[in-house]
Amino acid sequence: MATISNNDIAQAIYLSSKDKSPHELSLVLKDVVNFLHRKRLLNKSKDILLKLNKIINQEKGVLMVKVSSAQKLHGHEKEEIEHLLKKRYHAHEILLEEHIDEKLFGGIRIEVEDEVIDLSLRNKINKLQEHLTRKV
């Protein structure tokens, strides 16, 4: 028998709780907790929740984006980034998570799931170093 991954469980929870009234939802969730308890999966609940979050975001077209920059971003910069990302990833909504990282020296670094667009100065300097120290 194939093992059931956390992702499968999250998918099942999502499908069973989709489009339910508040009353039904509370019953479903009770069942879910009972199921997890019975199958001794409560210690994995953190990961399952994370996966569930991902699935819901994907269904609703919400994109979690981590933006790191050396200085705080201005409002219009953020808008521009959101606009670009919406187009690139065909998302309805962008959830920006901002980080200040002085080690970037300048520019920004955008992380979307496992894709990274590194437009920081530090990355450019690293690339220059690679270029200058490459073996000819």
Partner 1 sequence: MSHNHIVENLRKEIENFSAQIKAEKVGKVIEVFDGIAKVSGLSDIKSSEMVTFPNGETGVALNLEDDAVGVIILGDFSKIREGDEVKATGKILEIPVSDNIMGRVVNALGMPVDGKGVVKTDKTYPIEKVAPGVVTRQGVDQPVATGIKVIDAIIPIGRGQRELIIGDRQTGKTALAIDAILNQKGQNMICVYVSIGQKDSKLRKLQVRLEEGGAMNYTVIVSAGASETAALSYIAPYAGVSIAEYFMDQGKDVLIIYDDLSKHAVAYREISLLLRRPPGREAYPGDVFYLHSRLLERACRRNEKYGGGSITALPIIETQACDVSAYIPTNVISITDGQIFLETDLFYKGIRPAVNVGLSVSRVGSSAQIKAMKKVAGTLKLDLAQYRELEAFAQFGSDLDESTKKQLERGKRAVEVLKQPQYAPVKIENQVVVLYALVKGYMDTVPVEKIKEYEQGLIDYSESHAKDFYKEIAEKKMWSDKGEESLKKMIEDFTKSFNK
Residues near partner 1 (CB under 8 A) are 5-7, 113-119, 123-124, 127-128, 131-132, 135-136
Supply the minimum distance, in Å, between the C-beta of residue 21 and partner 1.
33
Minimum CB distance to partner 1 smaller for 16 or for 123:
123
Q: Are 41 and 48 within 8 A, CB to CB?
A: yes
How distant is the alpha carbon of residue 35 from its chain centre? Answer: 27
Q: How far is the CB of 9 from partner 1 (least distance, A)?
A: 12
Query: How is 60-83 classified by DSSP, letter by letter?
Result: HTEEEEEEEESSPPPHHHHHHHHH
Give the residue with the Cβ less far from partner 1, 1 or 136: 136
Residue 64 dihedral angles phi and psi, to the nearest 5°:
-90, 125
Question: Of the two residues 5 and 26, which places its CB atom closer to partner 1 in the complex?
Answer: 5
